[in-house]
Chains A and B, each alone.
Chain A
Amino acid sequence: MLSRAARTAARFRPATGVRAMSMHPVTALSEDEQALKDAVQRFAQDRIAPKVRSMDESATMDPQIIEELFQQGFMGIEIPAEHGGVGSNFMSSCLVIEELAKVDASVSVMVDVQNTLVNNVFAFYASDEIKEYAYPRLAGDTLGSFCLSEAGSGSDAFALGTRAEDKGDHWELNGSKMWITNAGEAGLFLVMANVDPSAGYRGITCFLVERDQEGFSVGKKEDKLGIRASSTCPLTLEGVKVPKNRVVGEVGKGYKIAIEILNEGRIGIASQMLGIAQGAFDATLPYLFERKQFGSAIGDFQGMQHQYAQVGMEIEAARLMVYNAARRKEAGLGFVKEAAMAKLYASQVAERTASRCVEWMGGLGFVKDFPQEKFYRDQKIGAIYEGTSSVMLNTIGKMISREYRA
């Protein structure tokens, strides 16, 4: 006979994909997830960690790391296996992004953009013809960039000024882009341009542009505060001819692609911020029990205990929010509010954690010989890219008001 709890559970069992995971703690990982996480952790420690400092100083991504990331399958996590990818899911992408960020936020964002923005735009919107062409490259050896921002169009994304003109057998693109992640190394670019400014945002369309196309050029890499090894560049498009079959999704539906992909992309950035927080915490805590002052380990002073207890709790809360948002997305449930909350909160936690870790290390936290100062610089971008903290609050506020407005 069924126990009462089991009968209750059976009655409330959701209809679809949620069933399999509904009874598990949100942070409990499946065997697959654990295996992927362990593999990434090991690779990051062995292959990336030794290069982190020099890549940060020289503001360059070691090409060998990019090559190895492709070999390991990190660049096509959700791309189907028959197209050269791993054939895994969004939650796995998030775990990979988090693990990488514990070691280096620059490598993490490179992998994040590839998987959660670029690859998924192809997955959700591209024709089979484009997928056949792009998937093996994206999973195999080619980085992609998602090109939305412009000098005059950041949070106000739909104000973008890049134009696409219908030239009969092709489109001609003119304009410029800014703050484009991975642009330094990318071979494929998803460029948002407006085909009809009089139609407003309903003119925005997504085009697939190749790096070596005539009229397309990648500008000088930005010299940044954090995630320095990740390239961020402006782009110039002067009469770039894009064949008609290189439109991704429908003409005039680029705005929808941008909104939807960034909604889920935020969970990726939230994972990166969670990784930064955990990475800084892991790198710092052991020191608190080595460093002795006044005859005692500083981690044993109650003033310190309360501080790391607070930060540890916040990291746990951020993890619950990030994993829950990712699992909701995976299960086909609504996730826009949860994603915005996860990104906003995880970036705040990363900021507070990295800041505390610098302080807890004392003078050592302030010098480049130790990783805390880099974590502190790297976290700052979390409040800015893929939607600023203010935009997150707007989104959350809008969703809440919708729930309560009469």
Chain B
Amino acid sequence: MRVFVGVKRAVDYAAKVRIQADKKAVDISNVKMAINPFCEIAVEEAVRLKEKKVAEEVVAVSIGPKQAQEVIRQALAMGADRGIHVTTDMRVDQELQPLAVAKIMAALTGEHDPSAWLLGKQAIDDDSNQVAQMLAGLLDWPQATFASEVEVSEDKKSATVTREIDGGLQTIEVPLPAVISADLRLNEPRYATLPNIMKAKKKKIDTVDAASLGVDLAGQIEVLEVSEPATREAGSKVEDVDALLAKLKADGLL
């Protein structure tokens, strides 16, 4: 089976985020970017499926500017076989929105015939958590979101997926092809080794212009303003438990 994995280039989780002067977006002009952590988990899972001989081919797909190839290379260094770079100059953290991303992926699906899409449950830039669900809807495939365990049946006709839901865990079986989105605890991604980073250079990345796929890329949502979270006010220290109780009572919390 062929597994397609989405890899999004987003602001590095450890980077300090600043907002543009016009308050219309996060300033990404001079900030460290990296593979979205949930996408990295999805790549790891796909590569493990390949190592278990369940998947024959893992294809890493990224949408974005030229630099999106960096995260495809990272996926290739982790073990993906080839990449597809869908090029666009739209900002992928807010201009290119989940529905358009899902439509692009649906268009690629028709052409390449994967047995599954493995996606991160959300990206840490816009936190939308919508692409996997929309893609399943557009393709009319079953969806298994927030996966913490994925087991593909021997005949590769279905997958048993454990999902992290509010009340605990839910185990479902979905026929393949399906869309699966990775939650945080699905696995711990490997570090790309230096030899594999070098080998990744030789792997193929095909480039497709997003505009050539015949899908409507226009955003449905207009960003009015982006603002910093309110700064937390300093707390105060209390001497002992009695003082703590007195303070909690005084503030009407007890």
Report whether A39 and B197 are in contact in the complex, using a CB–CB cutoff of 8 Å: yes
Q: Which residues of B contact A39 (CB under 8 A)?
A: 77, 191-194, 197
* Interface check A73, CB cutoff 8 A: yes
Contact with B along A333-345 (1 / 0, CB 8 A): 0000000000000
Q: Tell which of A31, A36, A46 touches B194, judged by Cβ atoms closer than 8 Å.
A: A36
Q: Is the CB of B191 within 8 A of A88?
A: no
Complex: how many Å from CA A42 to CA B73? Answer: 16
B6 to chain A, nearest CB (A): 20
The stretch among A79-87, A235-243, A395-403 that forms the contact with chain B is: A79-87
How far is B198's CA from A96's CA once the two chains are assembled, in angstroms?
14
Contact of A32 with B by CB under 8 A: yes
Binary contact readout B191-226 vs A (1 if CB under 8 angstroms, 0 otherwise)? 111111111010000000000000000000000000
Given contacts A32-B201, A35-B77, contact A77 B194 (CB under 8 A): yes
A32 interface neighbour in B192, B193, B196, B197, Cβ under 8 Å: B197
- Let me know if A85 and B195 touch, CB within 8 A: yes
Which residues of chain B from 167 to 203 have a CB within 8 Å of any chain A CB?
A: 191-199, 201
Q: Is A73's CB under 8 angstroms from B195's CB? A: yes
Main SS of the interface on chain A? helix
A32 / chain B contacts, CB cutoff of 8 Å = 197-198, 201
Cβ–Cβ contact B193 & A36, under 8 A: no
A183 to chain B, nearest CB (A): 25
Q: B residues near A, CB below 8 A?
A: 34, 70, 73-74, 77, 191-199, 201
When the two chains form their complex, are residues A42 and B191 in contact, meaning their CB atoms are under 8 A apart? yes
The yes or no answer to A72 lying at the interface (CB within 8 A) is yes
Instruction: List the A residue with the shortest CB-CB distance to B69.
Output: A31
Chain A minimum-CB-distance residue to B196: A73
Q: Top 5 closest A-B pairs, CB basis?
A: A73-B194, A86-B194, A73-B195, A73-B193, A86-B195
Report the Cα distance A43→B73, complex, angstroms.
17
Tell me the smallest distance from the CB of A263 to a CB of chain B, in Å.
25
Contact of B191 among A72, A87, A96 (CB under 8 A): A72
Task: Assess whether B191 is in contact with A86, with CB atoms less than 8 Å apart.
Answer: no
Number of A residues whose C-beta is below 8 Å from B? 21
Q: Contacting A43 at CB < 8 Å: which of B70, B191, B196, B198? A: B191
Residues in A whose Cβ lies below 8 Å from that of B34: 38
**A74 within 8 Å of B by Cβ?**
yes
A71 within 8 A of B: yes
Complex CA distance for A43 and B190, rounded to whole angstroms? 10
Cβ-defined partner of B198 (8 Å) among A47, A72, A74, A88: A88
CA distance A32 to B192 in the complex (A): 13
**A72 and B73 contact, CB distance less than 8 A:** no
Instruction: Please state if B201 and A72 are interface contacts (CB–CB under 8 Å).
Output: no
Q: Which residue of B lies closest to A79 (CB)?
A: B195
10 A-B pairs whose Cβ atoms sit less than 8 Å apart in the complex: A31-B70, A38-B34, A42-B191, A43-B191, A46-B191, A72-B193, A73-B193, A81-B198, A85-B195, A88-B198
Q: Given the complex, which residues of B lie within 8 Å of A73, measured CB to CB?
A: 193-196
Taken together as a complex, chains A and B put the C-alpha atoms of A43 and B192 apart, in Å, by: 9
Once bound together, how far apart are the Cα atoms of A35 and B35, in whole Å? Answer: 12
- Across the two chains, which residue of chain B brings its CB closest to A70? B193
